[in-house]
Structures are given as C-alpha cells and as structure tokens.
Amino acid sequence: MNDIQGNLLIADDNKVNRLLMSRSVELLGHKASVAENGKIALEMLAQEPFDALLLDIEMPEMDGFQVLEAIKTDPALRDLPVIVTSSVEGLDNIVRCIELGAEDYIPKPVNKVLLKARLNSSLEKKRLHDEQKRLLNRFATEEVADDLQKSGFAIGGRRVHATILFCDIRDFTALSENMAPEAIIELLNTFYTLMFEAVSSHGGIVSLMVGDGLMAIFGAPQPIKSPEQSAVEAAKEMLEMVAVLNEERAAEGEPKLRLGFGIATGEVVAGYAGTDARATYTCIGKTVNRAARLEAHTKTSDCRILFDTETHDELIERDGVHRIADAQLKGFSNSISVFAIK
Amino acid sequence: MTQDLIDPTIFEELQEAMGPEFATELLDTFLNDAANMFASLEQAALAQDADGYRRAAHSIKSNAQTFGATALADQARTIELAGTINTAAIEPLRAMFEETATALKGLIDE
C-alpha cells in the first residue's frame, strides 16, 4: 500500500506533546501544523484545508469535545477525519469522542505503528470520500450530491411530483455509421456535456444516459420552483446550443445533429435504485413512460419539443407554445393532448 | 508500596523511534516546561479552579508517561482523578518530579 502524504493539524495544549506529535508525523512523511488549543485549531481549519486532525481532549479555552461538536455541525469540516490522541481517563470519555464523530482514538503515549496505520486509513478514507464527491458532482447537482452524502446512499423510494425529460439524437445510428469510433465518442461527449449543462443550470439532474439519449428529472430529489418550466427551458437551451454546434459541424462538412425532446409531468416514484455498490437516483411510473413516448413521437411530428397537458398547464411562459394533434401513444389506452413549442 | 521510578525501556523506545538527539531535546523541553505546569497547578489550586487543577495534573501525567516516568505519572494521575483540589498533594508531586528529573537526566548521560 502506498502511503499517502497528508497535511495534518495537531491540536494539543502541551508543548512536549506538540513537539512529539509533529516529529512523529513528519517522520511518517506528512506535513504538520500545530495549534495550542481548540479555538486556535478551528481558526486554522477555517483558513487552510487539512487532510486530518490529531486532537487532544484536555485543552484550555476550547477542549477536544467542543472541537468535535463544532466540526460535526460545520458542513465544510464534516468530512475531516479526526483522530483523538489523548491520555484522558475513563472509557466513557473515549466513547463520547467516537459518538461525536471522531474517526479513531489513540491513547498517549502514542504508539508509532498504531499512529501510522490509523493515519493511513484515515487519509485513504478521506481521499476516497473526496473522489466520490467529485464523481457525484459530475453526475448530479450539488443538492443530490448532498442528499446522497447525508442519506448514506440509502436505497429507497418515495412518491414525488416531478417533470421528466427525455432527449435523444435523431438517427444517430445512421449518422455514426460513417464515423471513426473516436469521433463518435467525442461527439457523444460533446452532446452530454452540453446537455448536462442545460439540465443542471435549470435545477434538474441527469438520471440516465443510454447510448445517444438521456433522461433528466426536475423537481426531485429537491423540489424546485417550477419543474415544468425548468424542463422546457432546459430543452430550449439545449436546442440553441446544438444549433451553434451544428454551424461548426456544417463548416466542416459534417451532418447536423437533430434532437427530440419529450416532457411529462406528474407523480413518479423516485429514489436510489440499484445495489449498495451501484445505485442511481431514478424515477419510474406512468409519467416517465409518457415522457419517453412523447420523445419518440417527435419522429413523426415536425416539432422538436413535445409535452403533455400536465406540463402545459403549469407553464409560466407560453410564447410559441401550441397544441398539435392528439396522439395515441404506445402503452396508453386513451389518446392524449400534445403540446409543442415553436 | 515501592515502585520503579522510571521504566527505562520506554525512554529507549522513544530514543530509537525519534532519534536520540530529538529525545534529548524533548526531555529538555519537558524539564523546562514542568515549572509552567507546576505553576498552573498551584494557581488553579489557589483560585479553586478544579478544572484547571485537573488539567495541569493531566498534563504532568501525560508527559511523565511519554518518558516512562511511571511513579510520577501515577502520582499525577491520582491528583487528576481526585475530583477535589488538595493543595497538600502538590509538594510531594514536586518532590517526585525532582527525583524523576535527576533519574531521566542520568539516562541521557549514560
């Protein structure tokens, strides 16, 4: 196992302990800063990013318990691993540290081998956590990422009112037949980058990516002001961005990308589905099917963005919105009203 | 009850793990800083500050443990856990510290 170098903060009121701890972690290849009490430690934590805190309990001004409490309630510090190093008496005090969120407890005098192992494990955990956060933020909005962090990826569902958007690239298979594999992936990456931007800038999250299409959710897991309007705006923005992309492609003699959007609003069952190892925030229900079918319906209508009555009725902006012929969608017993924009 | 003043293996381990020069420097720091810790202990006793009294005893115990000063650590621990301020316990602790300091200095000169 490769040892990770960390930027550590040592909080201890005792001079000998500070010297000894600094020297110990420096011998292990880490960088060490010191604070003489809890108050100074918190001030330093607010100013500089540290990878772990080695915390003494008995300190004047602000003791270790108070520091643990402050860290626990601060979203910016919540994930910082804290290793309590103390010669505090009583098992109940050690239990209290762990209950307050300390990662580990090492009794003083600190055993070097134990310190090395605990530090490596804490730093590795921190690294994985940071990595997970980065990945999450790539695939979800900050709200979903936060929700996931807090719920600890609890698999479960609830009924929510949301707007679902489906989008895909028309005739992508035919379009990609004459392209090099690298060029296909590059084009898809461009498409996804633009689409993620359009969806997240309107408060939605991308839930599924399938080949040349994707599904986005507006209004879950976090409620937003107008999920209907947001979804329509995201689709409009996406079309504008692809129009710019198409101009570039036309200049290079490449065929244009054509997109279709289907939007539906209603009750869905939303939650993290999958296994502990691989889960995604997703929605299922009639609304989802309706959005998917409306998206497919763009193939036979001239309109790029189609939506249902439930979405239409909640729109705040209706410029360019018009009703087209009712459609009999696959899997639905009755024909439904269909609306388009532009 | 008789007890060894120092457990020499602990100080040897410290020298080995941290380097003999650093161990000496650390011991000097302890011996110099002890005056401050005893001053804190006395002040806290005078001010009837039970928390400060306990914390000062805790600090002396913690450092004594670092150097393997078993007897001093035990005596400081008794004060830490006493729950009440006992000014009469300070002088015997100081005497124990002086004895310990001489013994620890002896370990370096060896």
Inter-chain contact A58–B30, Cβ cutoff 8 Å?
no
Q: ω into residue A221 within 30 of 0, thus cis? A: yes
Q: What is the ipTM of this complex?
A: 0.90
Q: Of all helices (H) and strands (E), which one includes residue A14? A: none
Q: Which of A139, A160, A184 corresponds to the end of one domain?
A: A139
Same domain membership, residue A185 and residue A166: yes
> Residue A20: closest CA among chain B residues belongs to which residue?
B26
Q: Is A313 exposed, middle or buried (0-12, 13-18, 19+ CB in 10 A)?
A: exposed
A81 near A126, Cβ under 8 Å?
A: yes
What does the pLDDT look like over A233-276, one tens digit per residue? 999 999 999 999 899 888 988 888 899 999 999 998 887 666 65
Same domain membership, residue A210 and residue A62: no
A204 DSSP β-pair partners: A218
Inter-chain contact B26–A17, Cβ cutoff 8 Å?
no
Decide if A128 is inside a domain: yes
Which residue range(s) make up the domain with A66?
Answer: 7-139
Same domain membership, residue A156 and residue A34: no
* B65 contact A CB<8A: yes
Decide if A325 is inside a domain: yes
Same domain membership, residue A100 and residue A129: yes
Poorest-pLDDT segment among A36-45, A168-177, B55-64, B77-86: A168-177
CA distance B32 to chain A (A): 10
Same domain membership, residue A127 and residue A215: no
Q: ω into residue A109 within 30 of 0, thus cis? A: yes
CA distance A235 to A165: 8
pLDDT along chain A (342 residues), means of 10: 80 94 94 95 95 94 94 88 88 90 89 89 85 65 63 65 93 84 87 88 86 88 88 94 90 88 92 64 86 91 91 91 89 89 82
Number of structural domains in chain A:
2
Helices (H), chain B: 8-18, 20-46, 50-66, 70-81, 90-109
Q: ω into residue A107 within 30 of 0, thus cis? A: no
What does the pLDDT look like over A114-166, one tens digit per residue? 899 899 989 988 888 787 777 666 555 566 666 666 655 555 677 889 999 99
Inter-chain contact B66–A20, Cβ cutoff 8 Å?
yes
Q: Which of A139, A170, A188 corresponds to the end of one domain?
A: A139
> Residue B55: closest CA among chain A residues belongs to which residue?
A58
CA distance B18 to chain A (A): 7
CA distance A289 to A181: 31
Same domain membership, residue A147 and residue A121: no
**Domain B8-105 indexed as CATH 1.20.120.160:** yes
